[in-house]
Structure 1
Amino acid sequence: MKYVEMSKEVLAGVGGLDNIKFVERCATRLRIHFYKKTKVDLEAIKKAEGVMGVVEKGGQVQLIIGPTVQEAYTDFLEVSGYNPSEHANNASKDDNEEPEVKNFSYYINVFGNFATGVFMPIIPALITGGLILAIKNLLVNYMGVGVESGTAQIMLAIFSAGFSMLPVWIGYTLASKLKMEPIMGAFLGAVLVSGSISGVEGLDFFGIAVPAVGYESSVMPIVFGVVFMYFVNKLLAKIIPEMFVFFLKPLLTMAIVVPVTLIILGPIGTELSGAVGNSMEAFMGFAGWLAVPVIAALYPYMVMLGLDKAVTVIMIESIATTGADNWVMVTGLVSNLCIGAAALAVALHIKNKKQKGLISSFGVTALCGVTEPAFYGSLIMRPKCLIGVAMGAVTGGLVAGIFGLQNYVVGGCPGLLTALFFLPEDGSMGNFILFWVVCAISIVVSFIATTVILKRTEKVDVSDEETEVVGDTVTAS
């Protein structure tokens, strides 16, 4: 339990167990939702050992931990004694507290936090499935493994379980986020991907024709279905006598939701998904060379707002409908590499050996795809270094946009370790080579630009100090 002391300090800083509303985690952050902001001591939380940075927004404190966030999450639950079922209603907001201003930023945070809770839990399955598929393609295309061999089929089944069953995973996490029985959302997802329904022609429900739609790997149909289930669930909870709720509510819920989803919501969601994918493909074909560098430069701030998780759905839809993602993973890759390179430039520049080693590790971690320790631990307090990050992102993004770099795998923290994400199924190497070219340009430009900025800043600081000394001397004489 490496994060025990940190957990104790954070628990005190957040106002104790009674002030905790909900605890969750994403890829790098421990997220603690609180009841009363007046009880939260942000400065104390920032000083806790093992916390790289702290973000407070939308009624929650987000602790930047890094790749070992799962350990921090487990230790915090153990130390705090937090249990969702026991602490769901143990406190209420302080009436004297000022209500949060519901401006544009507020709704952006709400959307980002909601999307994170839905999509982040399923990302490991998607990454694993995608990497297995990439390795299978390498074995088939270059190492003599037969397409019909047992090895290839098993690896394809692993990919299919992760990606093709997407409606099941989204159904579970979305239902959980909407505070319903998670298994009911997964149940609806399983119905959609069932071999007797998905893509089957000529179905009807009591004489009403059911459109033939393939639901494997889809997103919008299950989202529409679970949202509809939420309202049906609330209505049935009000009208069904308590003694019959246990068996009658789920039965009636599925009896209502399944046909409505299959006949109305599913086809609408599928059409919208296709429209999104086709629109993105058309836009990137028309202005991708410009969009990629701009978004790459803005990407670190999208991470700050949680929007990087929110756009995961666009990547999923794009890969499901067109077979490739032209910007979500690509812009994240360029941005993350530039942050890592800038952090390494900072580490090379500073004199303190302990800080140099720590920031160097942040930089390497960012090059591998996890940027928050580097961003919050070395760059955000040196705002001019962010100019170097932006210069590298625009340069690398231009190359990626002009030559059309594509990603073929959903999810993950884009970086050097996600190289196989950019290897196409046919085994051709053009896109893979372009990946390494973009990586090299992004890293080199960002590192050099940040180094130059740091050296010029140092010269200006020294010049200012000398001017002050000369001025004092003249005054004294």
Structure 2
Amino acid sequence: MSYEKLAKQIVQEVGGKENIHSVIHCVTRLRFKLKDESLANTEVIKGLDGIMTVIQKGGQYQVVIGDHVPIVFAEVTKLIGKDVSEESESTDTSSEERGSLFSKFVSLLSGIFMPIMGVLAAAGILKGFLVALTVLGWMSEDMGVYTILFTASDALFYFLPILLGFTVGKTFNTNPFITATVGASLVYPTMIDIYNAGESLTFLQIPVVLMNYTQSVIPIILAGFLVAKFEKVLLKVIPKALQLIFVPLFIIVTIVPISFIVIGPLSVNASQLLADGAMALYSLSPVITGLLLAGIWQVAVMFGLHWAFIPIMINNVFTIGFDPINGLLYCTVFAQTGAALAIVFRAKEAKLKSLSTTATISGFLGITEPAIYGVNLPLKRPFLFGCIGGGLGGATAGFFSASMFGGFASGGIFGIPMFINPEGLSLQFYGFTLSLLVALVTAFVLTYFFGYSRELAVKQIEKKSA
């Protein structure tokens, strides 16, 4: 495949570079913000060799490509003549103004968390492997190699307010270095030492409710929103010659105290309520919750709605020490992978067999888009059977109270250790692994016997070849 040619075709069919406001990419998708989405030839793009599908959601025109999307993105960037990957997603709000409130909320969370999802998952996987190695007795916490690797895995989570400060700044279209500085103040060692020592602190005779903001999510998001609003006011009243220094100065001396006195305590309490609410819903019936939520999860991922759950998962881990939601949902990746694997054995067409083989490998590594858009969804029934397998796997995970510990796992075989309780292997973890097998085997068996249609497979291949 010529990625340069594919990039030229994509740029042309989305309306030309003049119609592109900005573009970024995630693991498998080019995410455009177009000035006018009606100018894009969606059906033509869907039919291009190398394109899985197109999704229009949350103010973004998403071209699903697969795991070679970084190469295509680089070619697209060359064609449009500017590094739009550095542009803020919020600089053009026209498309979002037409969307629903929930659509705006999902788009907001996507902009905040997407840039760090790769390293977030990598750090979580490393944490999980360290837990597994210590539980199995192959490594001890007093070893130097453990100390260094744990530091590498925990640094992102510990300093999460700083890293989110950068992405929050870009998402809210304000100076990311200012918002990162606010985030850094929340985890400043002196403040943490005062909190750990149980000492009191006041600011202009106003008592400060000290808390530990390491690994927190909500405080920096709210503080960043306030920074963006305050910056607009300052830019109007401060002369341009003085803005370079005095705009950041007034923001820092105002927002940092407000963050400690008001935003921080309210956010931490809100985080606890969010975690309690999630656990309350989960405790009503973990089995039914797993059956329903895991059954529809891949549909939610297709439309980008999963971004609304990611802060809840991360918040649960750092508020109550574990997250049962991802414990329910993790099996869905294996369910869609199982359906694609069945097509590997059933398909008679060389092109479909090759595509499903690649999709299966990607699925085991945690990337389901090739399986969903390249195989399961076009053939219809495999996707449905994948959802059924996911639902049964989720119910199994709920029965055994499967939970994620100590970080964030985005999917695939390498994230499995994240579900080992640091206290040791237990029925909870064994039940979790069983949920993966239930999802995989159910989707495989149903697809193998009832999910393959040669007629539909031939139509899909002819459509792609046309």
> Does the TM-score normalized on the shorter chain lie above 0.5?
yes
Corresponding residue SS for 2:190: coil
Matched, 1:440 2:434: no
Change in CA separation of 1:409 and 1:78 when aligned onto 2, cut-off 3 Å:
farther
| Contact 1:349/1:454 (<8 A) preserved | no
Distance 2:22 2:103 in 1: 16
Aligned position for 2:427: 430
Residue equivalent to 2:56: 56
1:17-28 to structure 2, matched below 5 A, reads 17-28=17-28
Identity across matched positions, percent = 27
Unaligned stretches of 5+ in structure 1? 461-477
The equivalences for 1:109-128 within 5 A come to 109-128=103-122
User: Which amino acid is the alignment partner of residue 452 of structure 1?
Assistant: F
Q: Which residue of 1 aligns with 2:282?
A: 284
**Distance change in 2, residues 1:80/1:291 (3 Å):** same
**2:24 aligns to what SS in structure 1?**
strand
Question: 1:388 — aligned with what?
Answer: 385
Relative to structure 1, the CA distance from residue 101 to residue 273 in structure 2 (aligned partners, 3 Å threshold; closer, same or farther) is closer
Shift of 1:85: 10
Matched residue, 2:362: 365
Instruction: Give 1:318's aligned residue.
Output: 316
The higher radius of gyration belongs to 1
Partner of 1:196, secondary structure, is helix
Alpha-carbon deviation of 1:185? 1.1
Match of 1:474 in 2: none
Render the CA deviation track for 1:312-364: whole Å, top value 9, x for unaligned. Answer: 1001100001111101x234322111111112223333321121111222133
Number of the residue aligned with 1:156: 150
Question: Could you say which residue in structure 1 is the equivalent of 2:184?
Answer: 190
- 1:129 corresponds in structure 2 to 123
In structure 1, what is the Cα distance between the partners aligned to 2:387 and 2:371?
Answer: 15
Contact 2:127 2:418 in 1 (8 A): no
| Residue of structure 1 equivalent to 2:69 | 69
Structure 1 counterpart of 2:262, one-letter code: I
**Matching residue's letter, 1:283:** L
| 48-57 or 227-236, which deviates more | 48-57
SS at match of 1:32: strand
Q: Is the aligned partner of 1:202 residue 2:200?
A: yes
Question: Given the alignment, which residue of 443, 446, 450 partners 1:449?
Answer: 446
1:357-409 Cα offsets, whole Å, 9 max, x none, are 11222133223321111111122223333331232122111111111111125
Match of 2:237 in 1: 239
- Structure 2 CA distance for partners of 1:175 and 1:404, relative to 1, 3 Å: same
1:211 to 1:14, Cα distance in 2 relative to 1, 3 A: same
Structure 2 CA distance for partners of 1:323 and 1:443, relative to 1, 3 Å:
same
| Paired amino acid for 2:313 | M
**SS of equivalent to 1:197:** helix
Tell me how far 1:142 sits from its aligned partner. 3.2
Q: Identify if the C-alpha distance between structure 1 residues 330 and 2 changes in structure 2 by more than 3 Å, giving closer, same or farther.
A: farther
Instruction: Say if 1:113 and 1:307 are closer, same or farther in 2 by CA, change over 3 A.
Output: same
Of residues 153, 169, 173 in structure 2, which corresponds to 1:175? 169
CA distance in 2, matches of 1:376, 1:139: 36
CA distance in 1, matches of 2:258, 2:87: 35
Tell whether the 8 Å contact from 1:233 to 1:249 is kept in structure 2 after alignment.
yes
| C-alpha distance after superposition, 1:256-301 (max 9, x if no partner) | 1011111011100000001111222233233221111101111111
Alignment RMSD (CA, Å): 2.7
Task: Write out per-residue CA displacement over residues 24-44 of structure 1, whole angstroms, 9 at most, x where no aligned residue.
Answer: 112221111110223211133
Matches within 5 A, 1:337-348: 337-348=334-345
The question of whether the paired residues in 2 share the 8 Å contact of 1:108 and 1:305 is answered with no
Q: Which has the higher contact order (CA 8 A, sep 6+)?
A: 2
Q: Which residue of 1 aligns with 2:267?
A: 269
Amino acid at match of 1:8: K
Contact between 1:171 and 1:185, CA under 8 Å: does it hold in 2? Answer: yes
Question: CA distance change for structure 1 residues 225 and 100 in 2, over 3 Å: closer, same or farther?
Answer: closer
Deviations 1:35-61 (A, max 9, x none): 022321113322333222211234432
Partner of 2:31: 31
Residues 1:350 and 2:366 aligned together: no
For these two proteins, the number of residue pairs brought into alignment is 451
CA distance in 2, matches of 1:420, 1:410: 11
Partner Cα separation in structure 1 for residue 268 and residue 86 of structure 2 = 39
- Separation (CA, whole Å) in 1 of partners of 2:437 and 2:102: 33
